[in-house]
Chains A and B, each alone.
Chain A
Amino acid sequence: MNDRIIAQLINVSKYYGSGEGRVTALNHVNLSFFRGDIVVLVGLSGSGKSTLLHLLGCIDKQDEGNVIIDGIDTSSMSLEQLANLRLNKIGFVFQSFNLIPVLTAYENVELPLLFKGMDKKSIRQRVDEVLDEVGLLERKHHYPREMSGGQQQRVAIARALVSKPALILADEPTANLDSKTGAGILDLLMSLNKKEHITIVVSSHDSVVLDRIKSVVHISDGKIMVDEIALHNHIA
């Protein structure tokens, strides 16, 4: 196994429903993501982008094949082990931000660290650091309802980032934002990728995203259109 690979899908399929109405959301996908890369998943609506991110993020189970995260096969992991894996290695950024409404920006970001059992002082340091990184340090005591969509998404990115995950998965992070704000979010993700060498996988319809990120995985009807080796060569 190549230890430059952070995440790998081997012959992965995902189906919804059964019998006549069965939908093949992913069809025998083979795909590798390399450490430090930023990759964009593109494809038409319903092509399987979200499904792929869900499997990669271990919040859903594939019907066939193996998902390997940081060298570990997740197929036979228990729910608790998967939760632990997500807590330590994976950060999510969602289209609709999904902040906890009763918590301030600071508290939202702090949440994963609390459950990792970090001490109070290190938590404070790290949370301030990432809030600063996303440019919201002065807003740390604000509640989600007191912030704009773009700001909320920045908090969400800070939350994904705070536990220094190996992989950040962002499913259409700009879709609920206007193009200018979306561009800012994209800039942030790209700069994090560059500075912290975190692997980021973004799915998007957005032409702004496509124009800026060079590694692109095309997906259509649950199939990958670009060969993974070719993809890597393209980045290299």
Chain B
Amino acid sequence: MNSIKLASIALRNLFRNSRRTLITILVSSAGFAALAIVAGYMDFTFYGLKEMTICRGFTSSGGTGHIQIVKREALQKEERYPLEYGIADNEKIQALIASNKSIKATIPRIEFNGLISNGEKSISFLGMGIDPEKESELMHYWNALDKMSSKTKMDDSSYKKLELTGQNGVLLGEGMAKSLNAETGSSLMLMGTTVDGAVNVVDVTVAGVVKSTMKSIDRYYLVTNIPTAQSLMQTDRVSKIVVVLDKTDNTESITPLVSAAINGSGKPALFTAIPWDQLAEYYHSIRDAYRIIFSFTGIIVVVIVFLSCTNTMLMSTMERVREIGTLKAIGIANPWISLMFLFEGFFIGLMSLIGGMALKIIFSFIINNSGFRMPPPPGMSSTYLLKIYPATEFLPWIALLVMFSTTFSGLLTLLKIRKISIVNSLTHV
């Protein structure tokens, strides 16, 4: 009963000094909107980074896909010779999981390294042997993501070129091409070690020059067909099979199914299915860094909202000293009087949520339609289009933070109210 009355008094007092109330609400709304927009930006960044990790990757070994299948021993032991723990009959394994409806593609890959030479100069490379057609599935997956804007479509033309060039085509990173003074059509030599430990050489033709995701790997980046890589190493094995799912969210549920299917039952497991996030070091480091930045922003915004509200509350108590004294004289205990201010803070918080949501929607809309491009993230080579995602899962927490800081500032008035002397307040003008 009396709390309802106090809430009603609180509300009326907010309207009594509507200008100050409005300013406080504006500050808190701006705080809410700022946090929500930062969260939306983070959500966008994490999402983009995650799918980018899966589709293109941030290392010389390409996109992680959703799940990677490797020989168990490849994780446990060091290879004595290339592909000692490679997968021998990869087509059979691909067939084992092909029936799963969530699995969109299975992509075999070879990772290998060696030297590449133009006859005068040799430099080392970190190579990837791929099946261009299958590898394009990752790009198709990316292009089908409905959250990605049409301006960030991936283009598989370089894989097409690799395919067209035939058996011994290679794609080089820009840095490597420059260093070897090579261009499309140039003839080069790959040198590497066979599985028997002998040195082998394969002639290759440059099918195209590509820009890789990371500047640092551009000088070592090389992609060729699986048969080319296999003939260099004199093997029929591949390093891994990359599994592409219909959507990233299914990774957790499909990984064990894949593992079961490829290992069969009973006998000790020969293969391991690794989900993408265990392969996403860059993604995790960026995400951790962003989380710290976000936490700091959060703390600063909360402090600003809190201080602004506390200021408003203390101004109200000062202005209403006489009223507070009267309530005290009537015999209303201090905590009740403070509850009135707590309600004021609470209502300011509520209105800030509404105002904040509105601001957030307006600003997100403006930003999302501005076409503004962000500078490349650490180590990456291209800018990207700035987007703010709705970040709905963060909103309740942000709302809670804002509500807490406005309401708590109301509670703080208790300290002030306790100090107000009834007698002095009654003679207060």
Q: Please list the residues of chain A having a beta carbon within 8 angstroms of any beta carbon in chain B.
A: 54, 57, 59-60, 79-80, 83-88, 90, 92, 94, 98, 100-103, 107, 110-112, 114-115, 117, 120, 159
Contact = CB atoms under 8 A, between A and B. Distances in A.
A54 B423 contact: yes
In the A-B complex, the 10 residue pairs with the smallest Cβ-Cβ separation, listed nearest first, are A87-B331, A86-B331, A102-B12, A59-B422, A114-B2, A98-B326, A60-B423, A83-B333, A83-B331, A59-B329
B134 interface: no
A120 B2 CA distance: 11
A114 B331 contact: no
Contacts, number: 73
Contacts of B13: 102
B1 A86 contact: no
A115 B326 contact: no
Contacts of A94: 326, 426
A211 B426 CA distance: 28
A83 B330 CA distance: 8
Contacts of B326: 94, 98, 100
**Which range holds the interface residue count of chain B?**
20 to 34
Given A98-B322, A98-B426, A86 B329 contact: yes
A228 B333 CA distance: 34
B277 interface: no
A208 B9 CA distance: 38
B328 A83 contact: yes
Nearest to B427: A50
Name the prevailing secondary structure of the A interface residues. Answer: helix
A114 B1 contact: yes
Nearest to A54: B423
A80 B9 CA distance: 22
Contact of A92 (B12, B16, B322, B329): B329
A100 B5 contact: no
Nearest to A169: B329
Contacts of A84: 331, 333
Contacts of A59: 328-329, 422-423, 426
Nearest to B1: A114
B5 A85 contact: no
Given A59-B423, A94-B426, A115-B2, A100 B9 contact: yes
Contact of B1 (A88, A102, A112, A120): A120
Contacts of A83: 328, 331-334
Nearest to A90: B331
Interface in B315-335: 322-323, 325-334
B120 to A, nearest CB: 90
A98 B326 CA distance: 7
Nearest to B426: A94
B408 interface: no
Nearest to B14: A102
B330 A86 contact: yes
Nearest to A119: B1
B2 A102 contact: no
Contacts of B328: 59, 83
Nearest to B6: A114
A166 B423 CA distance: 21
Interface centre among B328, B329, B422 (most CB of A within 10 A): B329
A117 B334 CA distance: 16
Contacts of A90: 331
Contacts of A110: 5
Interface string B333-345: 1101000000000
Contacts of B336: 115
B323 A100 contact: yes
Contact of A114 (B5, B16, B333, B334): B5
A57 B334 contact: no
Contact of A60 (B2, B323, B327, B422): B422
